[in-house]
Amino acid sequence: MDPIDKHSPDVIAFFDVDGALTAPRLTATKQMIDFLAELRNNVIIGIVGGSDLRKQKEQLGENVLDMFDYTFSENGLVAYRGK
C-alpha cells in the first residue's frame, strides 16, 4: 500500500511481536488482528521481531506480509514491504 493513501502519512507505528502484539511465542488474538487492520487504515504500520518470517506467520497469520506496510524479521536483518 502506498503511504500516500493513508490519512496520516507522517505517522509510522512499529510494533514488536513477542510481548507486545502477542504473548511470547504465542498467536495474536482476533481482537489484536482487528485492531491492527483498523489502525492500518489510518497510519503506516510495521512489525519488528527477532524470529524468522515463518514464526511471525505462525504468530500473526499466513498473510502477515499483507497485514503490515513493513515487516522486519530476524532483528531487522530481513525486511519486507507490504502490499
Mean of per-residue pLDDT scores for the chain: 91
66 annotated ligand binder: no
Phi and psi dihedrals of 9, rounded to 5? -65, -15
| Grid cell listed for 41 | 487504515
Query: Is 52 assigned a catalytic role?
Result: no
**Domain 3-81: assigned CATH number:** 3.40.50.1000
For the full predicted model, state whether its pTM sits above 0.75: yes
Q: In what order do the strands lie in the sheet with 78-81?
A: 12-16, 44-48, 70-73, 78-81
Residue in 2, 16, 34, 69 annotated catalytic: 16
10 is in an annotated binding site: no
Tell me whether residue 69 is annotated as binding.
no
Mean pLDDT, residues 1-7 taken together: 54
- CA-based R_g, the chain, Å: 12
> Which of 10, 18, 66, 69 is the catalytic position?
18
Site of grid cell 497469520: 61
Q: Is 69 known to be catalytic? A: no
Angle at 24 between CA 66 and CA 33, to 5 degrees: 30
Task: Note the pLDDT tens digit of each residue in 38-74.
Answer: 999 999 999 999 999 999 999 999 999 999 999 999 9
Q: Return the amino acid letter for 36.
A: L
Map out the domains of the chain as residue ranges. 3-81
